[in-house]
Structure 1
Amino acid sequence: MNSLTKILRAGRLASLAAALVVSPAVPSALAAPGPAPAAAPSADVERAVAALRAISSMRADFVQTDRNGQRLTGTLTLQRPGKIRFQYQPGVPLLIVSDGAALTVIDYEVRQVSRWPIRNSPLGALLNPDKDVARYARLLPTTNPDVLSLEIKDPRHPEYGTLTLIMVRKPGAPGGLQLDSWVALDSQNQRTTIRLSNQQYGVPVPANMFRYNDPRPQIRH
């Protein structure tokens, strides 16, 4: 693989990874304020949010799919408050981590590191401990009474995108609801889907799980 092909390949993979965590910036003058959020979330919304908050730590396998059908697999590790790691399949030179304050996308092939505040990401609804998720969430109809579909969108900040969480009733999961999958939709309608399997809750998480090796050349003074 020549250097140009590597750069193009890495760029496509990085774009797929970035779509998972980043909403492209929208100038505030163009961001419509939207209607005020609903004042009284339903009991199911409250139950779903409580189940999310009850996850102290989780490890799961994931399949990530973009709107063009490109798929990546890997292992997800989550720890509250605000920490997550997407460890991609062997051969994919990408890593996504959140240290509780910012989401970082590391592209080892082109030695690039990009960081965004959690609050500017669709995943902020899942990770940001300061976000009042219930205030901006609404239930979407499903055909299965054991499945909850929760759409989370801040009408005052459409540039943050929309996160739709799918949760399945399961007695052994925190709060009786298992996080099954989610769809992140950014402000430019770029859609990324994450499907989880083999969820394990309350797992021990090493202290260095949410750190990364910086691939950028170090400048010596």
Structure 2
Amino acid sequence: MDVFARPLAFTLLAAPALIAAAPAGELAQVQQHLTGVTSMTANFSQTDRNGRVLTGTMTLKRPGKIRFQYQKGVPQLIVADGSSLYFIDYQVRQVDRWPIGNSPLAVLLNPKRDITKFAKLNPTGDPRVVSIEVHDPAHPEYGRITMIFQKNAAGPAGLMLQGWVALDSQNNRTTIRLSGQQINGNVSDGVFRWNDPRSKGPRNR
């Protein structure tokens, strides 16, 4: 993937269809963790299918707000403002917008979403790791996202989000890894403002 191409990790999925429920124990633990997270800041690294790595910082505030600030020299920004998810490319002065509910990030952003109804548990072979997969079996062209949690007594419900893996319909993989996670600190709504390359001034919906 070209360094300035849209990050595959944010390829849109339709709102996930209901699929067969997995054993409730660890899914319920993940649900409790997500319910217990009101904000998060973390460093992230993004690895694309060619092994190219980009880094940056992620800021999350529920409900509905997230910001991925890429490293210096990458003219892209991803922001959710509470209702919509925006992909901003400052190089070509382009803004793409999607409803949050049509994004895999809705799993993180919607505190009312019950993941036990549309996610399945993946075996990891490691009792310290919990992996859940979200996809719409009726629309394989939308790809899938797998979220990885590590059991950690310091996190809500004893879990800490470590990142996720996205696959598109051609099985091209992008991996997001998180580090330095800080949970439930004070995060200003101003963090989720952004400069619209199509006009002057900050954008805050």
Q: Counterpart amino acid of 1:13?
A: V
Tell me the secondary structure at the aligned position of residue 191 of structure 2. coil
Tell me the secondary structure at the aligned position of residue 50 of structure 1. helix
Rounded Cα–Cα distance in structure 2 between residues aligned with 1:175 and 1:57: 15
Alignment of 1:1-221 (within 5 A): 12-17=2-7, 19-23=8-12, 37-39=19-21, 41-129=23-111, 131-217=113-199
How far did residue 129 of structure 1 move? 4.2
Q: Counterpart amino acid of 1:111?
A: R
**5+ residue gaps, structure 1:** 1-10, 26-32
Rounded Cα–Cα distance in structure 1 between residues aligned with 2:179 and 2:128: 17
How far did residue 188 of structure 1 move? 4.0
Equivalent pair of 1:123/1:163 in contact (CA under 8 Å): no
Quote the sequence identity (%): 54
Flag the structure with higher helix content: 1
Rounded Cα–Cα distance in structure 2 between residues aligned with 1:143 and 1:41: 16
Rounded Cα–Cα distance in structure 2 between residues aligned with 1:102 and 1:59: 20
Q: Counterpart amino acid of 1:113?
A: V
**5+ residue gaps, structure 2:** 201-205
How far did residue 24 of structure 1 move? 7.6
Larger radius of gyration: 1
How far did residue 132 of structure 1 move? 3.1
Q: CA RMSD in A?
A: 2.4
Rounded Cα–Cα distance in structure 2 between residues aligned with 1:130 and 1:157: 24
Q: Counterpart amino acid of 2:2?
A: R
Flag the structure with higher strand content: 2
How far did residue 168 of structure 1 move? 0.6
The change in CA–CA distance for 1:168 and 1:162 in structure 2 (over 3 A counts) is same
The change in CA–CA distance for 1:100 and 1:119 in structure 2 (over 3 A counts) is same
How far did residue 107 of structure 1 move? 1.1
Please say which of residues 135-144 and 186-195 is displaced more in the overlay. Answer: 186-195
Please say which of residues 121-130 and 53-62 is displaced more in the overlay. Answer: 121-130
Q: TM-score, normalised by structure 1?
A: 0.81
Tell me the secondary structure at the aligned position of residue 2 of structure 2. helix
The change in CA–CA distance for 1:212 and 1:13 in structure 2 (over 3 A counts) is same
Q: TM-score, normalised by structure 2?
A: 0.87
How far did residue 143 of structure 1 move? 2.1
Instruction: State the Cα deviation string for residues 193-212 of structure 1 (Å, max 9, x = none).
Output: 10000000111111211111
The change in CA–CA distance for 1:129 and 1:186 in structure 2 (over 3 A counts) is farther
Which consecutive aligned stretches of 4+ in structure 1 deviate over 6 angstroms post-superposition? none
Rounded Cα–Cα distance in structure 2 between residues aligned with 1:21 and 1:117: 13
Equivalent pair of 2:13/2:144 in contact (CA under 8 Å): no
